[in-house]
Structure 1
Amino acid sequence: MNDERDSITRRTALKGAAAAAVATGVLAANPWASQATAAPRKRSRRDVAIFGGGMAGLSAAHELVERGFAVTVYEPSRLGGKAFSHDVPGTAKGGRKALPGEHGFRFFPGCYQHVPDTMERIPVAGGGNVRSRHLVNVETAVIAFDDAGYAPTTAPTSAIGMLEHAGPIVDLDNLRNALTTGLSFVRDISPLELAYFVNRELIFATSCDERRYGQWEKMSWREFVKADSKSPAYRRYLAGALTRALVAAKSETASARTIGSIGLALATSATGLVPQYGAGPINGGVDRILNAPTNHAWIDPWVAYLKRRGVTFAMNQGVAAFEYAGGQITGARLTSGAAVDADWYVAAMPIDRLGPLLSPALLAADPSLRGIGKLNDDWMVGIQFYLSRRSVLPPGHIAALGTPWALTGLFQAKPWGVDFAKKYGDGRTRDCLSIDISDWDEPGILYGKPAKRCTKKEIAKEVWAQMSRAMNAGGKKILRDDEIVAWSLDPGISWTPKITNATPLMVNTAGSYEHRPHAHTKIPNFFIGGDHVRTNIDLATMEGANEAGRRVANSIIAASDSPAKDAAVHPLWELPFLEPLKAEDRKRYRSGQRHVLDV
C-alpha cells in the first residue's frame, strides 16, 4: 500500500503522545506505512495563516474555511501560483478583452480527482460550477516528431473523438502521414525493442509497493527501461520524449517509481475500467482542458467564492521569517515588517522560497525538514503565439516528440469555442497556439544555445522554428511565419540582468522521495503545502498541490481536535486484477528475489 493512504485516522493517532511515538517509529522503519502525525497539544483556536496563494494554499484555504476555520492567505505577487493566467498588457482594443497569456496551457488528465472535485464546488455566475461550465474534453491528439521521415498525425483519443472529428482523421493527408510515421517507427525501433518496453511497463504495473519504493524509487526511468543498451530511437522517443511530453520530466534523472506511477495512472484512466476516474475510450475524458483563460474560468471565481466564505487575502505580503520558541511557531514576520499571530501556520510556497525560511531552530525541531534542501527544481513555462488564421486541426494537444526543448502545444480557438477576433486583441488574432517549453538546458536548432542562455526574442524564434519543423514535416504547412500577429512569453521569466524564473517546479529525481516533507511536521502548529509534499499523485502538478492542500487541512483538523470531517484524499486507482500479481511480487521482494518478469 502507498504510504499516503491512511489506514488509521490522524485523529486516532493524535490520541496521546504514546500512540504518536509508535506511529512515528513505524514511519521510520517503513516508508510506505500509513501517515501519522506527532501529537500536538489540543487547541480550540482556529486562526490559520497560509503563506502562499498558489494551488496548495488556495486548496487548504478552501477546505478549512468550509469547516469553520478563520483563514488568511498571504501572497507576495499573484494568486493561482503556476496555474495563473494573465492579460497581455496593451493588447485590448475596440472593446475586446486583452490577448490571453498563460504560464502554460492546462492539461487535466482523466486520472485527476482532487482538482475536478474542487472545481465542482466553485459556483460561477449564471449557474453551474467551474467543472460543469469550463472543464471540457478534447478528444484528439497530434503526434509530431522532430526527425526526418516522420510526419505529424492526428489521432482520436476516444470513440467520441473519432465520430466528432472523422473528417480530419480519415483525411488522405492524415492517413498518409500516419502510414509514413508508422513505417518510420517500425524501421527505427524494432518489434523486439517495442516488446521490451511494454515488458518494462508490465513489470512496474505488477510490482508491489515495497518494490516500487525500495527498488524503483532509487533508479532513474532511463535506467529502469534499459535505454542505454537500446537503439537511438528507443532512447530518444520511448525513454525520453514520451516522458518529457507527458510529465515534463527528464528520463535520465526522474525517479522510475514516479514516472511509472503516473504513466500507469494515465493508462488506467484511459481504459475506462476504473469508475473513480470517470474517463475511458468510449465517452472520452482522458484529456481535459479549460475552455477559457485559467484565471477567467477558474482562479477568479475560486477567489471570489473563498472571499464570500470569509477567507481574507493579504496581497503583496510575503513571509520573511517564522519565529520559534517553546516547541512551536510563535509568530511570523512579513517582508513588510508586520507581524502575524495565528494558531496554525502553513508554508504553501515553492521549495526555492521555503528553503531559506527553515531556520536552524526549525531544522533542529524537525530534522526531516533538512531534506527539502536536497530537492531539485526545474523550469517549465509557456509562450503563446497569436495567429491570423484559425487552425484547421481538430481540438487536441500537440506532442512534438524529440524537439530539443521538449515542446507540447494546444491551439485554443476550437476547444474554447470562441471567435478570437471578436473577443480578444485588436481583431487580427483568430487563434492562439499555446506552447509549453519543458527543457531549458538543451541547445536549440537556430542559435545552438539552451533557452536559459537566450534572449526573449531568441526564445520566441527558437520555439517557433522547432515547432514548425515538427508540425510541417508532413508536407502541409500547418504553421506559417507570416501568420504570427504577436507572441507573449510567461512574465515569470525575466532578465535582471541574467535570466531568472519566478516559478520553477520541483522535479522528482531518483531517490528524492525520502527528502520530501509530509504536510504535517514535528512542530505541532507548522504545516507544509505544495507539489513537493508527499502525495498519492507524487508529481509536480496542480493535482499534487491540491492534494497537498487537503492534507494540510486534514492535519490542522486533527491537530485542533476539530469535529469536522476530513477533506477527501483519493488514491491512484489501479486495475483490481493486478492485485494477485502484486501480492506474489511482495513475497518475492521480501525474500530478496527479482520481479518474475525482470530478466
Structure 2
Amino acid sequence: MTAEHPPHHSQDSQDLQGPEHSPDPRKPGGGSSRRRFLAGTGAATGVLALGTTGGIAAAATPAKRVAVLGGGVSGLSAAQELAERGYHVTVYEYYDELGGKARSMDVPGTAAGGRAPLPGEHGFRFFPGFYRNLPDTMRRIPVPGNADGVRGNLRSGTEALFARADGRPDLHFPLRRVTTPPALGSLTPSWIRDQLLSVLDLGTRLPAHEAAYFVGRVLVHLTSCDARREDEWERTAWWDFIRAEEMSTEYRTLLGIGQTRNLVATRAEVASTRTVGRVIIEALLLWGLLGRGMDGPDADIDRVLNAPTSEAWIDPWESHLRSLGVEFALGTEVQEIEYAAGRITGVRVAAREGGQNRTIHADHYVCALPVEHARRTWGPALRSADPQLARCDALTTDWMTGVMFYLRTPTPVVHGHINCLDSPWSVTAIGQAQFWDGRDFARDYGDGRARDCLSAIISEWDKPGILYGKTARECTRDEVVAELWAQLKDSLNDSGKTTLTDADRLGWFMDPAVTGLGGPDPQNREQLLVHPTGTLHNRPTARTRVPNFFLAGDYVRTDVDLASMEGANESARHAVNALLDAEGSDAERCRLFELYRPPEFEPLKRVDEVRYRLGLPNTFDLG
C-alpha cells in the first residue's frame, strides 16, 4: 500500500481515484457524501402521510428518557418502538454513522465528476422471506413512492448458484416456491422425504444411502418436540447429528460445511443442531420453498436491497427517527454501565477520538451493543445483580467479513447468491448492481469506470488458502484479497467459461474494522455471534433483574435463535415490551412474530414429547 491510501483502501484502488479535490456541486468545497447524494436523487425521506407513530398510541406520560446504547439494527429498532410510544430517546453510537455492521461506507478518494463515492459495506445484506419482525419495522419507515416504506426497496433473487471447483458442474438452484405444494393440512413426512430425495438425487453426487440417511435426519428434527430440541439437539453438533464424519467428502461438503460455515459462519463440527435444523433447514429452505410462514404473499426466499444498504434503508430510518424526536450522539464510546442500589445510575461514555469522560443519565437504559462490546461495560456489581450477564462470557463470536470488488463490466453471474462450496475460506458472494434498479452504477458512483460490484464474504478465517497456503488471519490485507479473488475464480472460471478476469478488476474495499492482518495480533471489531452446542442456555433474556436495564442484540434469546438482523430486531421488541411492563405502561406492546410451525406436525411432536419423557428416541430416529 502507498502512503496516500487510507488503511482500508487497496493499492489497486488507486486506479479508481479521481482528482484529489473533485468538485461536487452538491457539497461546498468539493468531495461528496452519501447523504447529500441521496438528497440529490430524491431518496432522502421525511415524515410522510404514513404518520409518525405507525398507528401506535403513545402512552408514556409524562415522557420518560431512554438511553439506547448502540446504533445498530437492534438499537435503532428499539428507538423506533420507544419513540412511537412517546419516549424521549437518545441513541449513543460508536461510529460516526448509524447502522452498525449493516451500514454502508464511502470508499475514500473514489468520487469524481459529481458522483457519489463507491459504496463499501461490511458484507452484503440478505433478507430471507421468513424474516417477519424486521420487515414489519421496515414497513413503518416512510420512503417516497413506496406504499410499504423501506420494505418496498427489497428485491428478490430467483436462483442460487452452488459453484464447484476443479471443473465440476455447478448447481443452479431455483428459489421460486414449489408450484403445487400440499394444501394446508395435508403436508406429510413422506411428501417431504420424496421431495428432498428428488433434489439430492438430481443435484448432487451423493450415494443413495447417504441421501436417504440425511433425509431421515431431517424428518427426525421436523417431528422432535420442543423439549428434545432445546435439550438433546441443542447439545448435539450438526456434524454428529447427520453423522458427517462417517460419510463421503461430498456429503460433508454439501450437507455439513455448506449448510453451516458458508451461511452463518459457524462450524458444522460444533454448530447446534437445534439452530441449524430449525432455522436453516426448516424456516429458510423447507417452509420458504412451500411459501409458509413468510413475510406476506409476495415474499421470496432470497431478498436484497435495491441500493447500498444505507441509501435504501439506514438513511431513511435515521430521517424517520429524527422526525419522531430521537436524538443521536455519534462517535461516542460506551465505557461502563454504572450500577448502585439496585438500579443503573448512569453510563460513562467518551468521544471515540480523544474525548473526556462524561456520565449520561436516563430513566431507562437499553444496552444494544454487540455482545463482545457489551460485556466489557458490565462491571462486577452489575454482573452480580443478574447472573445471566456473566453467562454471556461463554458466548462465542467469530469473523465473517466481506470484500467488495469493483468491476469494469457488468458481471451478475447469477440472479441471486453464490455459494462457493469447495472454497477453503467458505466464500459466498452476490453481484449487486443487477438488483439496484434505481441506480446506474457507472453514472452514480466512483469515477464512471466501475460498472458492477461483486460483494464476497469470507466465513472461514482459520484454514489455509489455495494461493499462499496461509489462513486468512495470517495474510496481509493484499494477500487476503488476492487469495479471495483466486478462490472466486477457482469456483466460477471452470467448465469452459471465464467469468472473472484480472483485467476486469478495478479495486476493492474491506471493512476498516479489520486491522492488523499479517501481524501477530489481527483484530476484527465487527464479529458475528456463532452457535456452538449449548449456546442457547447462555443467551440472556431482554429483561434483566435490574428494573431499569434491558438488553437488545442478536445474542439475546429470541424465537429466531440466529445471529441475524431479524434476531436483533426481535430482541429490541422484547426489550421494549419488558420496559413497558416495568413501568406498568398501558401502551400497546410490540408485536412478536415467531417462526412458522406447520400444524400437520404438531400431533407428531406431541407423540415425541411423550417418548422424550419416557427416555425413548424420536419415532423416525433409526440411529
**Pair in the same fold by TM > 0.5:** yes
TM-fit CA distance, 1:182: 7.6
Identity of aligned residues (%): 45
Aligned to 2:157: 138
Distance 1:460 1:57, change over 3 A: same
Deviations 1:513-570 (A, max 9, x none): 1111100101111111110000111111011001111111111111111111111111
Distance 1:386 1:579, change over 3 A: same
- Distance in structure 2 (CA, Å) of the matches to 1:153 and 1:206: 29
The question of whether the paired residues in 1 share the 8 Å contact of 2:156 and 2:303 is answered with yes
Aligned to 1:587: 610
Aligned to 1:173: none
Residues 1:578 and 2:601 aligned together:
yes
TM-fit CA distance, 1:348: 0.8
1:489 corresponds, among 510, 529, 534, to 510
Tell me which amino acid in the other structure corresponds to 2:253.
R
TM-fit CA distance, 1:126: 4.9
Tell me which amino acid in the other structure corresponds to 2:345.
T
TM-fit CA distance, 1:127: 5.1
- Distance in structure 2 (CA, Å) of the matches to 1:396 and 1:273: 18
1:432 corresponds, among 450, 453, 463, to 453
Tell me which amino acid in the other structure corresponds to 1:318.
E
TM-fit CA distance, 1:152: 2.5
Secondary structure of 2:234's counterpart equals helix
Residues 1:338 and 2:361 aligned together:
no
The question of whether the paired residues in 1 share the 8 Å contact of 2:262 and 2:428 is answered with yes
Residues 1:471 and 2:492 aligned together:
yes
Secondary structure of 1:454's counterpart equals coil
Deviations 1:241-295 (A, max 9, x none): 222233232111111111111121112432335255435xxx6611100010000
- Distance in structure 1 (CA, Å) of the matches to 2:545 and 2:216: 42
Q: TM-score under structure 2 normalisation?
A: 0.82
2:423 corresponds, among 403, 408, 421, to 403
Distance 1:385 1:160, change over 3 A: farther
- Structure having the larger proportion of residues in helix: 1
Distance 1:331 1:284, change over 3 A: closer
The question of whether the paired residues in 1 share the 8 Å contact of 2:272 and 2:534 is answered with yes
Aligned to 1:388: 408
After superposition, the CA RMSD in angstroms is: 2.1
Distance 1:510 1:559, change over 3 A: same
Tell me which amino acid in the other structure corresponds to 2:258.
A
Could you list the runs of 5+ residues in structure 2 that have no partner in the other structure?
1-59, 180-199, 351-355
TM-fit CA distance, 1:392: 5.5
2:528 corresponds, among 483, 505, 515, to 505
- Distance in structure 2 (CA, Å) of the matches to 1:392 and 1:54: 29
Distance 1:153 1:229, change over 3 A: closer
1:536 corresponds, among 541, 547, 559, to 559
- Distance in structure 2 (CA, Å) of the matches to 1:43 and 1:453: 56
Residues 1:313 and 2:328 aligned together:
yes
The question of whether the paired residues in 1 share the 8 Å contact of 2:161 and 2:170 is answered with yes
Count of paired positions = 533
Taking the TM superposition and a 5 Å limit, the aligned residue runs for 1:179-258 are 185-186=204-205, 189-258=206-275
Distance 1:423 1:578, change over 3 A: same
Distance 1:447 1:98, change over 3 A: same
Once the two structures are overlaid, the 10-residue window that deviates more, 65-74 or 389-398, is: 389-398
The question of whether the paired residues in 2 share the 8 Å contact of 1:379 and 1:504 is answered with yes
The question of whether the paired residues in 1 share the 8 Å contact of 2:412 and 2:431 is answered with no
TM-fit CA distance, 1:136: 1.1
Could you list the runs of 5+ residues in structure 1 that have no partner in the other structure?
1-41, 162-180
Residues 1:354 and 2:356 aligned together:
no
Tell me which amino acid in the other structure corresponds to 2:335.
A
- Distance in structure 2 (CA, Å) of the matches to 1:521 and 1:321: 17
Secondary structure of 1:451's counterpart equals coil
The question of whether the paired residues in 1 share the 8 Å contact of 2:161 and 2:414 is answered with no
Residues 1:562 and 2:585 aligned together:
yes
The question of whether the paired residues in 1 share the 8 Å contact of 2:260 and 2:271 is answered with no
Aligned to 1:165: none
Residues 1:289 and 2:304 aligned together:
yes
Distance 1:93 1:209, change over 3 A: same
Aligned to 2:141: 122
Aligned to 2:131: 112
Distance 1:595 1:182, change over 3 A: closer
Aligned to 1:172: none
Aligned to 1:441: 462
Secondary structure of 1:109's counterpart equals coil
1:550 corresponds, among 552, 573, 578, to 573
